[in-house]
Each structure stands twice: as C-alpha cells, then as structure tokens.
Amino acid sequence: MLAATVRVSRDLDEAEEAVQDAYLQALERWARDGVPDRPGAWLTTVARRTALNGVRHREVLRRKLPLLVEPEAAEPPEPAGPIPDDRLRLVFTCCHPALAQEAQIALTLRLVCGVATADIAHAFLVPEPTMAARITRAKKKIAAASIPYAVPAAADLPARVSVVLTVVHLLFSAGHTAPTGTDLVRAELTARALDLARMLRALLPSDTEVAGLLALLLVHQARLRTRTDAAGRLLRLEDQDRARWDAELIAEAEGLVVEALKSGPPGRFSVQAAIAALHAQAPSYAETDWPQILTLYDVLLGLWPSPVVALNRAVALSMVDGPAAALAEVARLESDGRLAGYRYLPATKADLLHRLGRDAEAAEAYRAALELSDNAVEQEFLAARLVSV
C-alpha cells in the first residue's frame, strides 16, 4: 500500500501520512457502511487519492509563483522498469547505493517490512531518537537528491540487485544471531528477511544469486529452532538434533541451489547456500562431506576474499587435514589483524587448541572470545566451554 502510494506522491513522508489517513477514514467509514469486499484495494485507493491531492496542491502553489524551472508533470508517468512491482521499487529505493548501508537496512525494515523505529533502534543498539534521525536523514536525501523511485534499468540491475541481496542477508544475520541481548534469535527479523528474499525470487525468477540467497536463508531458517536447547542454551552444529530440522525448507533450498549452480558461474550467495545445503544433507556432523565443503570454500574465497570466509574455511580444513593445519591458518588470520575484535576467531582457535590437547592455551582463547561477545546466550556458551577445557 505504501509502495503504491509513494509512486503517486514521490515523497515517502507524504505517502506514509496518506496511508495512515486512509486507515483513519476506514475506521470511520467501515464502522458505518460495513467492510468493503476488497479492504486492501479500498485502502490503497483512498491513500493514493489523498497523496494525489497533496501533489495537486503543490502544483497549484507552484503555478502561482513565477517559475524559473519547468514544473514536473502532475501525474508522474508509470515508471518503466524491467519489473513492474511497487514493493520492489520501494526496496530498490531504500537500497540505493547513495545511502549509507546502515540507512539502507533501516529504511528497508521501516518502509518495506513495517518494523517500528523503536525495534530497528533496538536491533542496531542505538537510542530510538538516533535511529529516527537517521531514517529522517535518509528519507530527506531520497527527496533532496531525487533518488528515483524505480527499479533500475536492466543494464544496471545486476549491480543494484547485489546491494539489495546484501541488505536482505544482513537483515537475516541480525535476526539469526542477535548482536546483543538475552535472546540468540530475533525471529521477527529472520521472517522479514525471508519474506523479502521470497519476494525478490518471485520478481526476479531468473537471477541465480537471488535463488542462492533464498536457498541460504531457507537452510538457516530450517535449522533455527535447533540452535538452542530447551533452556535456551546455544548448541553447536555438531550437537544439534538434526531430526528437528525443517526437511521441507531444506528440500526447497536444495532445489534452488541445484538450479543456481546449473545456470552458469556461481555467485557468493549460491556457493554459501551450497555449503549450507551440504551441512543440512549430512546425516551427522562426522559424516558431513568435508572435502566437498572445503572445495566450495576455496571457490567462495575466490569470489569473496573476506577474512571471515577464510576463518570458516579453516574449520572445514580442520575436518579434512586435522586441527594443526587449521590452527596455522587461524594464526595467519590473527596476524592479518582484520579480524581483531571478531569473537569467532578466538572461539575457533580455542576449539582447535582443545582438539590438539593444548587446553591451557584453549582456555586463554575462550577468555578472549568471551570478552568480545555481547550476546548473553553466546557468553553462556563460551563460559561453559571455558569450564570444560
């Protein structure tokens, strides 16, 4: 509804107001005349009409003034893009590379997912007024810089889709392991991200990276409820009850992965999804196809040379060539310095040291990891590991 309205008003604030106004009118009218057959369509029509009145009002004001610049057409033309969908236009507007990435995520949450500003602030660990100010600033830039309310032209689509996919992935990650707080998972955020990925998939059915991202999120979603035990304690992949993984979601993800890998050179989301799918297929942690996972990590590292990927690759390496080989890799990453402050580096190192029987050093590394974690569930897990070594 907001997406359909903003196309008329071309102003996010005005569109939001028009939508709220439509709801108010609905409360009054529907109580009197009954609920219409298509309530959604009714609301959208009313909101769009209100927005159009606002636009006309502005136009009249403009005409009354001496003009140096040509006024814009009162009715904006239907934006021509490869995909005629209002929601997607709104997503692409929110994820414009001219906005800071944090603002992109916040706007997508606020305007596309309808998450309250207070909740977004909570997810980003900032006070609500700070987040409200950031969202306002981003909306202002959209208006002032005339960021188009459009899906980019076909030629520009691949570059812009990758921004959108990154934002959706970050949204999911923020829900998958909440950066702070007492709960490990924020199900609301993962559900919204999954909705967005499904929407993108419906609208861009031939984009392999869209298929890859959706597959990746589906596998993570399928395993979400087994990541903690009944008491809310964190369970490692090797300790999770695989029987409780959602087989339906995993099957759907596998279909998407196969499709993505068959149709040309893979992108990073497709490869990540393939790795996740291999984990999901394995009957147990020990029986995981580690050599193939290691190969996929090598491919991934080529596509996306990130130290985080290198760290995950080291874990796979430890299952193929043993913990000593992996420890050398981790030491290399540690001296690289880019992962200073990344809690999974000392946590991984601790596990490898423990497997090598070097428990004193393992304890030291667990303590370092513990210091870097702000999530209560993770802290408890690390503290328990520390005691056990």
Partner 1 sequence: MAQYAVLIYERVPPEELPKEIMDRHLGLPELIASKGGKVTAGLALQPNETATAIRGDLVTDGPFVETKEVLAGVYLLEARDLDHALACAKLTPVVDGGVEVRPLIDFQVVPD
- CB 167 → partner 1: shortest distance, Å? 18
Structure tokens at 365: 């590394």
Contact stretch for partner 1 (CB under 8 A) within 60-68, 184-192, 219-227, 369-377: 60-68
Contact 271, 299 (CB under 8 A): yes
Tokens at residue 335, please?
Answer: 């001296």
How many amino acids of this chain bind partner 1 (CB under 8 A)?
Answer: 20
Q: How many other β-carbons are positioned within 10 Å of the β-carbon of residue 65?
A: 8
Q: What is the DSSP string of 97-121?
A: TTS-HHHHHHHIIIIIS---HHHHH
Near partner 1 by CB under 8 A: residue from 39, 40, 53, 62: 62
State which residue, 27 or 61, has the beta carbon closest to partner 1: 61
Our finding on whether 61 is near partner 1 (CB under 8 A) is yes
Is the separation of the CB atoms in 3 and 89 below 8 Å? yes
In this structure, the number of other CB atoms found within 10 A of the CB of residue 236 comes to 11
User: Contact between 73 and partner 1 (CB under 8 A)?
Assistant: no
Q: Which is nearer to partner 1, 129 or 158 (CB)?
A: 158
User: How far, in Å, CA of 89 to CA of 27, rounded?
Assistant: 29
Using rule CB under 8 A, residue 148 touches partner 1: yes
- Binding segment toward partner 1, per CB under 8 A, in 61-69, 126-134, 254-262, 300-308: 61-69
- Quick one: which segment of 138-146, 185-193, 281-289, 296-304 binds partner 1 (CB under 8 A)? 138-146
Choosing from 27, 34, 37, 67, the residue that interacts with partner 1 (CB under 8 A) is 67
Q: Can you read off the two tokens belonging to residue 307?
A: 């130290």
The CB-of-98 to partner 1 minimum distance in angstroms stands at: 6
Residue 316 Cβ vs partner 1, minimum distance, rounded to whole Å = 40
Using rule CB under 8 A, residue 145 touches partner 1: yes
Considering the rule CB under 8 A, would residue 57 count as an interface residue with partner 1?
A: yes
Task: Return all residues near 291 (Cβ < 8 A) that are at least 6 apart.
Answer: 320
Kindly write down the DSSP assignment for every residue of 334-372, as one continuous string.
HHH-TTTT-THHHHHHHHHHHHTT-HHHHHHHHHHHHHH
Alpha-carbon distance values, 297 to 95, 253, 255, 305 (Å): 28, 19, 20, 10
Stretch that binds partner 1, among 50-58, 121-129, 266-274, 342-350 (CB under 8 A): 50-58
Residue 31 vs 68, nearer CB to partner 1: 68
Candidates 18-26, 51-59, 277-285, 367-375: pick the segment binding partner 1 (CB under 8 A).
Answer: 51-59
Q: Which two tokens stand for residue 90?
A: 């709104």
11 binds partner 1, rule: CB under 8 A: no
CB 237 within 8 A of CB 184: no
Q: DSSP assignment, residue 48?
A: H
Quick check: 243 binds partner 1 (CB under 8 A)? Answer: no
C-alpha–C-alpha distance, residues 8 and 29, integer Å = 23
Instruction: Give whichever of 57 and 338 is closer to partner 1, judged by the CB atom.
Output: 57
Task: Pick one of 156, 229, 239, 248: the residue that binds partner 1 (CB under 8 A).
Answer: 156
How far apart CA 74 and CA 148 sit, in angstroms, is: 16
Binding to partner 1 by residue 284, rule CB under 8 A? no
CB of 62 to partner 1, least distance (A): 7
Shortest spacing between CB 370 and partner 1, in angstroms: 42
- Residue 144 interacting with partner 1 (CB under 8 A): yes
Q: Pick the binder of partner 1 from 9, 47, 152, 157 (CB under 8 A).
A: 152
Q: Between 97 and 322, whose beta carbon lies closer to partner 1? A: 97
Interacting residue with partner 1 among 33, 37, 70, 287 (CB under 8 A): 70
What would the two tokens of residue 129 be? 């007024």
Say if residue 387 is exposed, middle or buried (CB neighbours under 10 Å; 0-12, 13-18, 19+).
exposed
d(CA 369, CA 41): 52
Binding residues for partner 1 restricted to 83-122, rule: CB under 8 A: 96, 98
From the CB of 79, what's the least distance to partner 1, in Å? 10
Cβ neighbours for 24, distance < 8 A, ≥ 6 positions apart: none
Contacting residues toward partner 1, per CB under 8 A: 54, 57-58, 61-62, 65, 67-70, 96, 98, 144-148, 150, 152, 156
